[in-house]
Amino acid sequence: MNRLGEKLRQLRTQRELTMRQMGIIFDIDGSLISKIETGKNVPSLGLAVRLAEFFEVSLDDLVDDDAEIAE
């Protein structure tokens, strides 16, 4: 798993959301969330921006491998 995927999983589970629920919220297939979390895919820039806004983190914090997400 890559850092982006780890961060996304951390943020998703903090809000107690399933991958399916994330898919519904972002109007995407829930399996895309799984692929991002496992490092098999990367989100488009547009989706990355929407994820950062939804989770109220900066885009830099979401995609920067050295940045940490507060618990």
- The 10s digit of each residue's pLDDT in 23-66 is 999 999 989 999 999 999 999 999 999 999 999 999 998 988 77
Distance of CA 54 to CAs 58, 59, 62, Å?
10, 11, 11
pLDDT of residue 71: 63
Write b or e for each residue in 22-32: b if 16 or more Cβ atoms lie within 10 A of its Cβ, otherwise e. bbeebebeeeb
Q: Is residue 11 part of a domain?
A: yes
Rounded to whole angstroms, how far apart are CA atoms 53 and 61?
Answer: 11
Q: Is residue 23 part of a domain?
A: yes
- The 10s digit of each residue's pLDDT in 3-17 is 899 999 999 999 999
pLDDT of residue 54: 97
pLDDT at 1 exceeding the cut of 60: no
Q: Is residue 25 part of a domain?
A: yes
CB atoms closer than 10 angstroms to residue 15: 10
Q: Is residue 69 part of a domain?
A: no
How many structural domains compose the chain? 1
Token readout for 51 is 């994820």
Domain ranges, residue 59: 3-63
Q: Is residue 58 part of a domain?
A: yes
